[in-house]
Every structure is written in structure tokens, then in C-alpha cells.
Amino acid sequence: LEFLEERMQKIEILRIESLSRAPLVVEGYLFEGSDPTASSIAIIGAMEGDSILPLYCASSLVDFFKNKIEEKKIKGNVLIIPSINHYALNIGKRFWPLDNTDLNMMFPGYELGETTQRIAKKVFDAISGYTYGIMLERRPDPATCIPYIKLFKSGYEDLKAAKKFGFKMIHHRTVKSIDTVSLQYNWQLWGTKAFSIMCPHENQIDKKTSSQINQGILRFMDKNKIIEHHIFNGYESTVINRESIEVVKSPKSGIFIQSELAGSYVSKDQVIGEVVHSLEGNLIHTFLAPCDGMITCFYSNSLIYENAVAFRIAKIG
């Protein structure tokens, strides 16, 4: 493993000086492959300040490449950037703390623009030119979900490659106007086959979920001959779109209790949850599955509001 330490380069992606605190220094871990003809991959962890699971998954991958794989089995270059928005992470804030802007809405960046545009430009320059790109994203809504691939219908996407992760589901979604300034879209536009891995909303580390995510990433890298690290095959991914998803909203506010987990298969009219009166304790609503399918996510807070999305179910057939 001494050779791995030599092959690993800790590179400075960007540095921003601060008047009141330590500089913002974003670093990446580059593991050089032994085969110059092999495909390469860049992996982005926490871009937001509340993305703890993406941070943990990315840092675990750094540990894997430093300490748990033989150097001869790394064929292509692997770049891992575990965190970008340190300032937000330090105070538990989702967006860039100074002006509340979303870094993932600033790509491909602008070197003479606002701070977040400059950060995006530096990051984008560092990750451009890789064959594949992976973003670890936390769901923006309060939802517990299964890990899945989000892939834009940009015209540049690689749906066949997305199936190599072996996740249960690929959400192949239409590009909205706001998506054109996201990292995934711009990565695809500039020639990298990019994918987002969507992680649950919760910030408590679930090692089972993080293991599923990292196994999917390593499986993808093995199947694309970036590394030699054979693991069990995953699922034959089901590709869904917006029309494949049944949204179940709560007609009442109160205490929300789900009776089925994300990833569970349900039958039409099966009881999947309930709402209890928050003051009187009586049952005021029972959720029934509107179709046969799989629960992809459910509301993650114990108090639910009227018209909040309680469940999303991928329909079968």
C-alpha cells in the first residue's frame, strides 16, 4: 500500500481567502491508474451543507482507494472530491452561507462572477475531461428513499451505462429550464457521461444505505474496467419517468406513521400508512396504495401537513 500513497495525489481544487475565518480550501484525491487507455471517473460528494450521507460515501471511497484495493487493480484515473461547500457544512446550512445560493445552480461557472460562480468554474475545470462523472445528491424534499440514479434526458445521456450501477431504479427525467445550470447537465454537455445518485433526505448515517451506494459505484467502475474489483451483480434497473410515478398526498395534517418502507412492493388498496390526530390521538386517515408497485420514497417527518406528499409509488405495468 506504500505505492498507493505515492500514486494518490491530494490536489487543491480552489482556495478562497476570508477576512474573518480560515480560507475555503477544496481538495480532491486523485488516484492515478496504471493503464493510460482506461476510462477515467470523477466523483463529487457533498455540494450542499446538509449532505452528510454524500460526504460519508465519498470519504469512504477515499479510504477504499487508499487502503483497501491493490494499486495494480486501479486501471483508470479516479478523482474524488468529498466536499465543496465547507462553510455551509460547518454551520449545518444547506446553501452557500453568505448569499444563500445553490452551488448546483451555478455551472459551468464564471471566473469573473459571484463567489459561487467562481467556485463552480474552478470545480468544473478540475473535473472536465473525465469519461464518467458521478454526483452524490441528497433529496431536497423531506423524503426517505431508496438510492437511485437520476438521469436527465439531455440528448447526451448514457442510459445503458446507468444500468451498470445495479440500482433498483433509474429516474430518466425531462430537463427543466432550471436544470441547464446544474452540474449533471453541463457535464453531459461537455462530453462526460454524468449521473446523479440520489440519497435519502436524512442526515443520520445508515451504513447499510451507504454500502449499497458505494457498492453500486464500485460495480459501475468494475464493469467499465476503471478498476478490477468484482462484486455481486446488482438489480436489473427499472427505468421510470414522471408518468410511471403515482403521488400519494395527505388530505389531513397530523402525526404521520408509515407502515411500509422505501423499496417495499405493495398491492392496490394495501394499507401503507396512517395519520393520527396530533391532539386527540384518534385515527383520521388511512393511506391505501393506489396501484400495484414499489414505494420509492415516503415522507420522512413525523408531523405531516395537509397536501404534503406522503408516498411516491412506481407503478407496475
Mean predicted confidence (pLDDT) in 212-218: 97
Residue 2 has pLDDT above 50, yes or no: no
Confidence of residue 23 (pLDDT cuts 50, 70, 90): confident
pLDDT above 90 covers a percentage of the chain that reads: 82
Mean predicted confidence (pLDDT) in 169-178: 95
Q: What is the mean pLDDT of the chain?
A: 93
Residue 56 has pLDDT above 50, yes or no: yes
Helices (H) and strands (E) in the chain, counts: 7, 18
Mean predicted confidence (pLDDT) in 249-256: 98
What is the pTM (predicted TM-score) of this model?
0.92
Which residue type does 306 have? E
Q: Check residue 55 and give its pLDDT.
A: 95
Q: Check residue 19 and give its pLDDT.
A: 64
Is-contact 46 37, C-beta < 8 A? Answer: no
Residue 3 has pLDDT above 60, yes or no: no
Mean predicted confidence (pLDDT) in 205-222: 95
Q: Check residue 99 and give its pLDDT.
A: 87
Which set of grid coordinates corresponds to residue 272?
A: 401503507
Residue 163 has pLDDT above 90, yes or no: yes
Confidence of residue 191 (pLDDT cuts 50, 70, 90): very high
Confidence of residue 316 (pLDDT cuts 50, 70, 90): confident
Residue 270 has pLDDT above 90, yes or no: yes
Q: Check residue 29 and give its pLDDT.
A: 98
Q: Check residue 18 and give its pLDDT.
A: 75
Which residue type does 30 have? L
SS3 118: helix
d(CA 142, CA 297): 10
Q: Check residue 98 and give its pLDDT.
A: 82
Confidence of residue 310 (pLDDT cuts 50, 70, 90): very high
Residue among 104, 307, 97, 67 nearest 196 (CA): 104
Is-contact 194 187, C-beta < 8 A? Answer: yes
Q: Check residue 7 and give its pLDDT.
A: 67
Mean predicted confidence (pLDDT) in 301-306: 95
Q: Check residue 1 and give its pLDDT.
A: 45
Mean predicted confidence (pLDDT) in 21-29: 89
In angstroms, the Cα distances linking 160 to 60, 157, 216 are 27, 9, 15
Residue among 53, 119, 58, 129 nearest 84 (CA): 119
pLDDT above 70 covers a percentage of the chain that reads: 97
Mean predicted confidence (pLDDT) in 160-189: 96
Residue 5 has pLDDT above 60, yes or no: no
